[in-house]
Amino acid sequence: MAVSMKSRVLIAVVGLLVAFVGWVAWSIEGEYGSGTLFVVETHQDGSAIVYDVDEQEGTRTPVFEGSQQEAVAFMERRRSEGENFLLPALIIVAGALLVVVALVPLRRLRKHA
């Protein structure tokens, strides 16, 4: 069964869209990590308190107290610990596979009798 050119183009376009969604998910994961939301309270003396915010319960829990520079370093370290690029990578691979399937010519296997 031959696959038409329209079908191949459609599969390639869908593959590119899926890969683009994976790329967006990758950039979001790199920027925000997985579910870490912090609020920083700074004081005039240069100290800062970092609160971990639970959006579902609406609570703030203090998780760090120190200088403003140390607070920024703490938040960056916690966000990088929460990063998980597995799902975005799988989405990108799925899109790339669709593009490859659309571009590789499928040949019928002939039975030799």
pLDDT digits (tens, 9 = 90+) for 5-51: 898 899 999 999 999 999 999 888 777 666 567 888 888 888 898 98
Q: What is the pLDDT of residues 73-85, one digit of tens each?
A: 888 888 777 667 8
Question: Hey, where are the domains in the chain?
Answer: 1-33+84-113, 35-82
Cα-Cα-Cα-Cα dihedral sign, residues 69, 75, 76, 78: positive
* Cα gap 21→95, rounded to integer Å: 9
Please state the pTM of the whole predicted model. Answer: 0.59
Q: Helices (DSSP H) in the chain: which residue ranges?
A: 5-32, 68-81, 86-103
103 token code pair: 């571009």
* Contacts of 15 by beta carbon, 8 Å cutoff, 6+ apart: 94, 95, 96, 97, 98, 99, 100, 101, 102
Nearest to 47 by CA among 70, 63, 77: 70
